């Protein structure tokens, strides 16, 4: 009998896992004992970190797109379709595109994050973002026209993709306006929902002095409640109003509704054991990347490391052995501190981050990684 592994989601986690399994289970797949299907609702794989550079004219959205068919091993069945129902009792998925269903023996959910600007009245009309292709290109056009006034960067809620990206944006914007001789005419204000500039206290302690040095204004304990696009103001639940001329936000994030409907967790995030990545509410279901509610950052490196753990565990289970691989919370991030410098952090569940001194070498390392990312997606790096 053929054991069927279905991976839902062709982002970093799903794609790395598919290629990991193609390599790890090569004999079993060749013998027809195991079949692996990767389901994604878009024929392309998207590398979202490229979007940070689009508003500053340093990258194009197409730099972050490649057909999944070029990235995924031929041993994997690639299905471009949208899952419309997850039944963990009968271990079956329904698809909307083909009106068909499929049985699985093991299911891995790697469905990522979605943006929910509608949660904040006025945000969709009044705010720009660089968390989508269309948002990043619209912001690029706006930034090119923006030569003076108040730029507000507001982080609306956590978790969100790439917790470092809001810091990176204001540091890069500060540099970008300085290089163009406009910084004295542009005020930059950064807002964050808790009482420091980043959720992780160690990164907050590191970032706050840089913001002070650069003259970036900070509003903490600022949870956006509404945006008035006409008056160009953003108002917080805490009663603070900020005027803006250009509002850039990190919109509220959620997972996909199917996960909550399947009883796997709230807000589209799957409740998992943070070490084994197994779903708590169902058998034979794993989640990884943004989808897994582990408390670690929603970052590509997390999805990458978690994919390796899930790959090892699935291979063990399919071979009738107890799975032993566990995820230790490992996270690795470059943090741009301007247009020509970056820092770097590495941490896990037990060890806190200690950001490296910003340098040009780390900036080039980040750019080099971005270029070599496609090797990661293929499972080679």
Q: Under the rule (CB under 8 A), what is the footprint of other proteins?
A: 119, 157-159, 193-195, 199-201, 221, 223, 225, 237-239, 267, 274, 295-296
- When the beta carbons of 264 and 315 are compared against other proteins, the nearer one is 264
- When the beta carbons of 194 and 367 are compared against other proteins, the nearer one is 194
Helical segments of 183-336, H only: 201-214, 257-261, 300-318
Nearest approach, Cβ of residue 199 and other proteins (Å): 5
Nearest approach, Cβ of residue 256 and other proteins (Å): 17
- When the beta carbons of 126 and 193 are compared against other proteins, the nearer one is 193
Tokens 């790439």, residue? 162
- When the beta carbons of 89 and 295 are compared against other proteins, the nearer one is 295
- When the beta carbons of 193 and 255 are compared against other proteins, the nearer one is 193
Q: How far apart are CA 25 and CA 332, in angstroms?
A: 27
Strand partners of residue 47: none
Buried b (16+ CB within 10 A) or exposed e, 134-153: ebbbbbbeebeebeeebbbb
Nearest approach, Cβ of residue 237 and other proteins (Å): 5
- When the beta carbons of 23 and 267 are compared against other proteins, the nearer one is 267
- When the beta carbons of 199 and 229 are compared against other proteins, the nearer one is 199
Query: CA dist 319 to 19, 28, 34, 171, 316, Å?
Result: 18, 9, 10, 49, 5
Which has the closest alpha carbon to 175: 337, 54, 338, 57? 338
Q: How far apart are CA 77 and CA 39, in angstroms?
A: 8
| Kind of pairing between the strands at 331-336 and 83-87 | unpaired
- When the beta carbons of 112 and 252 are compared against other proteins, the nearer one is 252
- The residues, ordered by sequence, that sit 6+ positions from 91 with a Cβ below 8 Å of its Cβ are 103, 104, 105, 107, 284
- The residues, ordered by sequence, that sit 6+ positions from 166 with a Cβ below 8 Å of its Cβ are 153, 155, 190, 192, 250
Question: Which structure tokens are listed for 6?
Answer: 């279905």
Give the three-class secondary structure for 32: coil
- When the beta carbons of 58 and 223 are compared against other proteins, the nearer one is 223
Contacts for 234-238: CB closer than 8 Å, 24+ residues apart:
234/126, 234/127, 234/152, 234/154, 234/191, 236/191
Complete edge-to-edge strand list for the sheet that includes strand 77-80: 77-80, 34-40, 3-8, 106-109, 285-287
* Residues 261/246, Cβ–Cβ less than 8 Å: no
Nearest approach, Cβ of residue 16 and other proteins (Å): 24
- When the beta carbons of 163 and 379 are compared against other proteins, the nearer one is 163
Nearest approach, Cβ of residue 226 and other proteins (Å): 11
Other C-beta atoms closer than 10 Å to the C-beta of 338 total: 20
**What does 106-140 look like in DSSP terms, one character per residue?**
EEEE----EE-GGGSTTHHHH-B-SSSHHHHHHHH
């Amino acid at each position: 009998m053929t054991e069927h592994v279905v991976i839902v989601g062709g982002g970093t986690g799903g794609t790395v896992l598919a290629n990991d399994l193609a390599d790890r289970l090569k004999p079993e797949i060749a013998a027809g004992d195991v079949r692996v299907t990767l389901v994604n609702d878009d024929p392309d794989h998207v590398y979202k970190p490229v979007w940070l550079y689009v508003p500053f004219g340093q990258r194009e959205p197409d730099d972050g797109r490649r057909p999944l068919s070029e990235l995924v091993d031929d041993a994997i069945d690639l299905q471009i379709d949208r899952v419309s129902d997850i039944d963990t009792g009968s271990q079956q998925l329904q698809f909307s595109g083909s009106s068909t269903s499929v049985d699985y023996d093991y299911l891995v959910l790697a469905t990522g994050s979605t943006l929910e600007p509608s949660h904040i009245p006025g945000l969709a009309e009044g705010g720009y973002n660089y968390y989508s292709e269309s948002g990043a290109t619209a912001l690029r056009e706006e930034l090119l026209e923006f030569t003076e006034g108040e730029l507000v960067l507001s982080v609306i809620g956590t978790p969100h993709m790439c917790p470092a990206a809001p810091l990176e944006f204001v540091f890069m914007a500060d540099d970008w306006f300085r290089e163009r001789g406009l910084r004295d005419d542009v005020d930059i204000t950064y807002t964050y929902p808790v009482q420091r500039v980043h959720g992780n206290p160690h990164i907050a302690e590191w970032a706050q002095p840089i913001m002070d040095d650069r003259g970036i204004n900070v509003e903490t304990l600022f949870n956006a409640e509404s945006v008035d696009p006409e008056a160009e103001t953003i108002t917080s639940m805490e009663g603070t109003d900020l005027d803006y001329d250009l509002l850039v936000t990190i919109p509220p994030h959620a997972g996909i509704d199917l996960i909550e409907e399947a009883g796997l967790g709230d807000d589209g995030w799957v409740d998992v054991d943070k070490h084994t990545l197994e779903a708590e509410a169902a058998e034979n279901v794993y989640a990884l990347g943004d989808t897994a509610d582990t408390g670690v950052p929603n970052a590509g490196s997390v999805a990458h490391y978690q994919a390796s753990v899930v790959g090892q565990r699935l291979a063990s289970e399919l071979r009738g052995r107890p799975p032993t691989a566990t995820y230790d919370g490992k996270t690795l991030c470059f943090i741009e501190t301007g247009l020509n410098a970056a820092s770097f952090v590495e941490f896990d569940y037990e060890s806190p981050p200690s950001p490296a001194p910003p340098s040009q070498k780390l900036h080039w390392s980040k750019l080099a990684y971005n270029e070599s990312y496609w090797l990661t997606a293929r499972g080679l790096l």
